[in-house]
Amino acid sequence: MEIIMYIFVSIAIISLQAITPFVIRKSECFGVNVGERANRKAELKQLKKQYVGQVILWTSLVAIIGIALLQGFNTSESIQAGIFIASMFGQLIVSFIIYYRFHLTTLQWKKEKIVSGEITTNSIILVDTSFHRKKMVISYTWFIVPFLIFIITLAITVVFYQQAPMTFPTHFDMNGTVTNTVVKSPRIALLFPMLQLAMIGLFIFINFVIARSKQQVENEKPSDSLKRNMLFRQIFSKAMLIMCTILVIDFLVTQVVILLALPIEIMTVTMLGSVVIIIFGVVLLSVKVGQGGSRLKFSNEPDGANKPIRDDDAFWKAGIFYFNRNDPALFVEKRFGIGWTINAARPVAWISFLVIILVIVLITLLF
């Protein structure tokens, strides 16, 4: 089972890393703003193909080494868990190193094109002042759905607590076998309901981030850019609600299995099913929608004029980390990847990020 899970997660990581250059905004290439027209040039297309080949080759090599190590240490569950996690991080680190090389190459390419006059830049930022007054995310009342599941979980916990086994499983190996238990107590019994509540709070916060993140309008096609951005937020807001509901249901099933001493296989199958659905959904959204709605098509979409592009690369460290003290925005779209990131120059953004981590850690420690 651990090998199957490892292979599945590795394929998901490698696939997501490989398709990233093709699902980000059409004006961006490896974390550099080059403009839509320049991004269609043969040189950049060739760079993307090279990136895909190198990512698949080297991350697959890391994955294969991980499989060999898992097979070699199949008698030690703790070592296998360490190998699993280390290999996942290894794949991500290798992908980042490859990405960074191409990021530097693209930066140099852009500088040469600016010198030759093929690319012109300016510091003008287009803004639609009515943008954030438009409805771009689902109503927060929709989160009543996962909250009701939390209430059901809490009620089941109260009703079946007395007849639950005297010990609760707290750790499972990759085959779903219980490897550690603790004596039953109200505090332990409330772990999964509290995790549900934290998960709901996290996704409500994500919905807020989607609604309030900085608008990004492309100079070349501002009207289409606004349409795409709005649809992108609406689609991802709905997707986050679905993801939240799936995870909360997963915790409900786990709680029922523990309280009623049902076969662990039920919990394992539910968990694997949730992971498969979520990963498949993320890949599907990336391919069909793209970052900022970049892959959404409009029937009357004209070819953009060769306008100056926004010159803000200096604020994007390594093309990934946004640091701009003069920008009041707390959250911005990622440049390389799908979703949003924080403005690292704003302390409030860091605090909100750390509070989320702290709440999750406290729940796991207290319960």
Q: DSSP per residue over 119-130, as a string?
A: S-EE------TT
Q: DSSP per residue over 192-253, as a string?
A: HHHHHHHHHHHHHHHHHHHHHSPP---SSSHHHHHHHHHHHHHHHHHHHHHHHHHHHHHHHH
Per-residue model confidence (pLDDT) at position 306: 59
Task: Map out the domains of the chain as residue ranges.
Answer: 1-119, 125-367
At 155, which amino acid appears? A
**Greatest C-alpha distance within the chain:** 77
pTM, to two decimals: 0.84
Per-residue model confidence (pLDDT) at position 112: 87
Query: What angle is formed at CA 200 by the lines to CA 354 and CA 253, rounded to 5 degrees?
Result: 120
Per-residue model confidence (pLDDT) at position 126: 57
- Smallest CA-to-CA distance from 206 within 260, 261, 138 is with 138
Structure tokens at 12: 């998901």
Residues in the chain where the model's pLDDT stays below 50: none
Give the C-alpha distances (Å, rounded to integers) separating 303 from 214, 259, 278.
25, 60, 35
Report the relative pairing of strands 121-122 and 309-310 from DSSP bridges.
parallel
Structure tokens at 364: 């796991």
d(CA 251, CA 27): 40
d(CA 252, CA 268): 13
DSSP class of 214: P
CA 40 to mean position of chain CA atoms: 27
Per-residue model confidence (pLDDT) at position 129: 53
Per-residue model confidence (pLDDT) at position 252: 96
